[in-house]
Protein backbone atom coordinates (compact mmCIF):
# COMPACT_ATOMS: atom_id res chain seq x y z
CA UNK A 1 0.00 0.00 0.00
CA UNK A 2 1.16 3.51 -0.80
CA UNK A 3 2.71 5.34 2.13
CA UNK A 4 0.83 8.26 3.57
CA UNK A 5 1.91 10.54 6.40
CA UNK A 6 0.28 13.63 7.74
CA UNK A 7 1.60 15.51 10.78
CA UNK A 8 -0.04 18.66 12.09
CA UNK A 9 2.18 21.60 12.86
CA UNK A 10 3.35 22.39 16.39
CA UNK A 11 5.15 25.41 17.91
CA UNK A 12 8.42 23.93 16.73
CA UNK A 13 7.71 21.60 13.85
CA UNK A 14 6.02 22.08 10.48
CA UNK A 15 2.93 20.57 8.92
CA UNK A 16 4.06 17.58 6.89
CA UNK A 17 2.17 15.69 4.22
CA UNK A 18 3.50 12.75 2.27
CA UNK A 19 1.16 11.21 -0.28
CA UNK A 20 3.09 8.51 -2.08
CA UNK A 21 0.17 7.54 -4.31
CA UNK A 22 0.20 10.99 -5.90
CA UNK A 23 3.95 11.49 -5.68
CA UNK A 24 3.52 14.48 -3.42
CA UNK A 25 5.31 15.89 -0.40
CA UNK A 26 4.64 19.15 1.41
CA UNK A 27 6.16 21.02 4.37
CA UNK A 28 4.50 24.13 5.71
CA UNK A 29 5.03 26.34 8.77
CA UNK A 30 8.11 26.60 10.92
CA UNK A 31 10.87 24.21 11.87
CA UNK A 32 13.20 24.86 14.77
CA UNK A 33 13.16 21.81 17.00
CA UNK A 34 16.59 21.32 18.61
CA UNK A 35 16.54 17.79 17.26
CA UNK A 36 15.29 18.19 13.70
CA UNK A 37 17.17 15.11 12.55
CA UNK A 38 14.90 12.96 14.69
CA UNK A 39 11.78 14.76 13.44
CA UNK A 40 12.69 14.24 9.77
CA UNK A 41 14.10 10.72 10.20
CA UNK A 42 11.01 8.80 9.07
CA UNK A 43 10.44 11.24 6.20
CA UNK A 44 14.00 10.83 4.95
CA UNK A 45 13.76 7.06 5.23
CA UNK A 46 10.59 7.07 3.12
CA UNK A 47 12.14 9.46 0.61
CA UNK A 48 15.26 7.35 0.14
CA UNK A 49 13.16 4.22 -0.49
CA UNK A 50 10.84 6.09 -2.86
CA UNK A 51 13.78 7.52 -4.82
CA UNK A 52 14.94 3.96 -5.58
CA UNK A 53 11.61 3.08 -7.20
CA UNK A 54 10.52 3.71 -10.76
CA UNK A 55 8.11 6.51 -9.83
CA UNK A 56 6.31 8.68 -12.39
CA UNK A 57 6.79 11.95 -10.59
CA UNK A 58 7.54 13.61 -7.28
CA UNK A 59 6.45 17.12 -6.40
CA UNK A 60 7.77 18.68 -3.23
CA UNK A 61 6.13 21.92 -2.10
CA UNK A 62 8.30 23.53 0.56
CA UNK A 63 6.44 26.44 2.10
CA UNK A 64 8.33 27.08 5.32
CA UNK A 65 8.15 30.55 6.85
CA UNK A 66 11.05 30.06 9.22
CA UNK A 67 13.54 27.31 9.98
CA UNK A 68 16.73 27.03 12.00
CA UNK A 69 20.17 26.21 10.70
CA UNK A 70 19.88 22.50 11.59
CA UNK A 71 16.80 22.30 9.37
CA UNK A 72 18.80 23.84 6.51
CA UNK A 73 21.12 20.88 6.74
CA UNK A 74 18.29 18.33 6.63
CA UNK A 75 16.63 20.08 3.67
CA UNK A 76 19.91 20.18 1.79
CA UNK A 77 20.47 16.46 2.37
CA UNK A 78 16.99 15.71 1.03
CA UNK A 79 17.47 17.91 -2.04
CA UNK A 80 20.84 16.31 -2.80
CA UNK A 81 19.31 12.83 -2.40
CA UNK A 82 16.65 13.83 -4.93
CA UNK A 83 19.18 15.40 -7.26
CA UNK A 84 21.35 12.29 -7.25
CA UNK A 85 18.57 9.77 -7.84
CA UNK A 86 18.12 7.86 -11.13
CA UNK A 87 14.70 9.38 -11.60
CA UNK A 88 15.78 12.96 -10.86
CA UNK A 89 14.30 14.44 -14.05
CA UNK A 90 10.83 13.55 -12.74
CA UNK A 91 11.24 15.62 -9.57
CA UNK A 92 9.96 19.15 -9.08
CA UNK A 93 10.67 21.22 -5.99
CA UNK A 94 8.59 24.33 -5.41
CA UNK A 95 10.26 26.66 -2.92
CA UNK A 96 7.31 28.83 -1.96
CA UNK A 97 7.62 32.02 0.05
CA UNK A 98 6.56 35.65 0.09
CA UNK A 99 8.36 38.57 -1.57
CA UNK A 100 9.21 40.17 1.76
CA UNK A 101 10.81 37.06 3.26
CA UNK A 102 14.39 37.77 2.24
CA UNK A 103 15.89 35.14 4.56
CA UNK A 104 13.90 32.32 2.94
CA UNK A 105 14.47 33.70 -0.57
CA UNK A 106 18.26 33.80 -0.04
CA UNK A 107 18.23 30.27 1.30
CA UNK A 108 16.20 29.15 -1.74
CA UNK A 109 18.68 30.84 -4.09
CA UNK A 110 21.52 28.94 -2.44
CA UNK A 111 19.65 25.64 -2.76
CA UNK A 112 18.91 26.40 -6.41
CA UNK A 113 22.67 26.54 -7.00
CA UNK A 114 23.21 23.26 -5.19
CA UNK A 115 21.00 21.15 -7.44
CA UNK A 116 21.56 20.39 -11.11
CA UNK A 117 19.11 17.74 -12.21
CA UNK A 118 15.81 18.35 -10.52
CA UNK A 119 13.46 21.21 -11.38
CA UNK A 120 13.74 23.82 -8.65
CA UNK A 121 11.24 26.67 -8.76
CA UNK A 122 11.69 29.63 -6.46
CA UNK A 123 8.25 31.16 -6.05
CA UNK A 124 8.03 34.43 -4.11
CA UNK A 125 4.45 35.70 -4.17
Partner 1 sequence: MFDMMEYHKNLQASRIMLVYSGPLWAEGIGGFANTLKKRLEYDNTPLETSQEVFSVFVEQMNNMLMYSAEKEQFSADELHSEAPKGTFVMGLKGSQYFIQTGNIMSNSSVDIVKNKIDHINTLDKKELRKYYKEKRLENDNPESKGAGLGFIEIARRISGKIEYTFTPYEDGYTFFTLIATIGGKE
Question: Closer to partner 1 at the Cβ: 17 or 76?
Answer: 76
Bridge pairing between strands 91-97 and 58-67 = parallel
Question: Closer to partner 1 at the Cβ: 11 or 116?
Answer: 11
Query: What is the closest distance, in whole angstroms, from the C-beta atom of residue 104 to partner 1 in the complex?
Result: 9
Q: Tell me how far apart the alpha carbons of residues 3 and 123 are, in angstroms, rounded to a whole number.
A: 28
Query: DSSP string spanning 9-74?
Result: --SSS-EEEEEGGGTEEEEEEEE--TTHHHHHHHHHHHHHHHHHS--S-EEEEEEEEEE-HHHHHH
- Examine residue 73 and tell whether it contacts partner 1 (CB under 8 A): yes
Site string for partner 1, 17-46 (x = CB under 8 A): ---------------xxxx-x---------
Query: What is the closest distance, in whole angstroms, from the C-beta atom of residue 83 to partner 1 in the complex?
Result: 13
- Its sign, for the CA torsion 9, 32, 93, 121, is positive
- Examine residue 103 and tell whether it contacts partner 1 (CB under 8 A): yes
What is the contact surface with partner 1 in residues (CB under 8 A)? 10-12, 32-35, 37, 66, 68-70, 72-73, 76-77, 100-103, 106, 110, 113
Amino acid sequence: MAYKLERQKTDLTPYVLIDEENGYMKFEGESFHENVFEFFKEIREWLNEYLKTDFDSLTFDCELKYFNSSTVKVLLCMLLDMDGSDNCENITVNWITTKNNSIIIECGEDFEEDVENIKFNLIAN
